[in-house]
Each structure stands twice: as C-alpha cells, then as structure tokens.
Amino acid sequence: MKKITTKTISPIIVIAVLIVLWETISHLFDIPAWLLPAPTVIVQEGIAGWSGYQHHLISTTKLSVIGFAIGVSVGLMVAISLHILPTFKKAFYPLLILSQNIPIIVLAPLLVIWFGFGVMPKLIVITLVCFFPIAVSTLDGFRQTSHELLHYMQMAGASKRQIFTKLELPHALPSVFSGLKIAATYSVMGAVISEWLGANQGIGVYMTLAQSSFRTDRVFVAIFFIMLLCMLFFGIIVGLEKIFIKGRVKEENN
C-alpha cells in the first residue's frame, strides 16, 4: 500500500508545484496573458467558454474513437496475415517500416487533394498513425511465443489453427496491449492534425482559431483537453489489459 500511495501522490505533488510556480511567475513578472496566461486564467476560460468549444470536443472524441477502431482492426488483420504467411512478411515488412518514414503532416495534404475535405481523409490520417504500433507490436508478440510450447503442441498433433488460438495469440496479448496504449494516444494526435488541414469543428479547429486571434488561454484549454482525452483513452486500455491479461493468468494458475 505504501508503494502504491507514493506512486500516486508523487506525480500529483510535482504537478501541483509546477502549477504554483507557473502562477507565481506569471504574476511576479507581470507576463501578458497573450504570451503566457496564468493557470487561473486558463481555468476561468475553460469554465466560461465551455458552451463555445463543447461541440469541438465531442467531434474530436468521435473522430478519434472511429479512427482508432479502424486503425486497430487494420493493424491486427495485417499482423495476423503476415504472421500466418511468412513469405508475405519477408516481402511486405520492410515496406511497413518504410511507410513510417513519411511524415503524416506531409502526407495529409495529399489525402485532402485525393479525397476532399470530408471525413475520409481525417479517418485515413488517424488510421495511419494507429496502424503501425498495433501491427509491429502484434508481430513482435507472435515472435516471442515460447518455442518449447510450440514444439510440444506440434508433437501433440495440434493444428495450425489450434496453435494460433491456444498458444500464439494469448502469448501475444501483452504486446498487443502495448501497441493499443500507444495507438490510443496517437489517435487523438492524428485527429487534431487532420482537423488542422480543413474541418468545420474539432479541437484542432478551435485551437487554430484561438491561435489566429492570439487567445493563448484558449490554446492552453485545447491542449489540456487533448491531454485529458489521451489519458482517458490510455486509462481505458490499461483497464482492459488488467481484465484480459490478469484474468487469463488467474485461469492458467487455477
């Protein structure tokens, strides 16, 4: 209990100290609000302007969830396909790595040219940023399967389907969830980037409008909600990880 309490309280104390220092420096040096607003100013704007950005927050959340679901689905399907078909893995895995050398911020304008300013290019951007961590982590999980257990199941006459469902997939779950946690945070980032390129609503749009009007307090409000969404998605994945992985470990022990 002491370790858990320390781990929980220590980050809170550090954050609280930083906020107090920020507030003190802002007032002590009389820093203009357009340059660096104090935390109290940001909180006041966040509360007072809720009705003005509520729909932006909802839009970004929906876009992030849908794009995350598509990216995870595609990433898992590609990883499973490359694992089942080793020949294709040798041919396409280098291309999978090379695809990540293209910055999304550079590729996004091309998607707008090809697909317009609708939802499609935005979902493609989020899918691309979520796809890679899922595919790579899942493939690494499959590769870390115990060779002794694999040899034992083959000697016992298990089929490839049984080996995959009973051995390889369960052993890859920790790696899959590692990729899910990365993709969950990337999905929000991808949504905001896609909204910068052309959208009617979303946190990215709200941030762009605030920046152009030198409302730095609103920019920080947007940053806060982006961080909050990332932490929320990350926490959900961690909760699911505890349910699935710890539940599987308990079943194996029993």
pLDDT band at 6 (very low <50, low <70, confident <90, very high): low
* Residue the block writes with tokens 């109290």: 40
pLDDT band at 7 (very low <50, low <70, confident <90, very high): low
146-173 per-position pLDDT tens digit? 888 888 888 888 888 888 888 888 888 9
237-251 per-position pLDDT tens digit? 999 998 888 655 444
Give the mean pLDDT of 130-143.
90
32-55 per-position pLDDT tens digit? 888 889 999 999 999 998 988 899
Residues contacting residue 215 through CB under 8 Å, at least 6 positions apart: 34, 45
pLDDT band at 194 (very low <50, low <70, confident <90, very high): confident
Polymer length in residues for the chain: 254
What tokens does 60 get? Answer: 């970004």
Distance between CA atoms of 190 and 182, rounded to whole angstroms? 12
Q: What is the pTM of this model?
A: 0.85
- pLDDT of 170: 87
Give the mean pLDDT of 119-129.
88
Taking 60 as the threshold, does the pLDDT of residue 191 lie above it?
A: yes
- Identity of the amino acid at 105: I
Taking 90 as the threshold, does the pLDDT of residue 66 lie above it?
A: yes
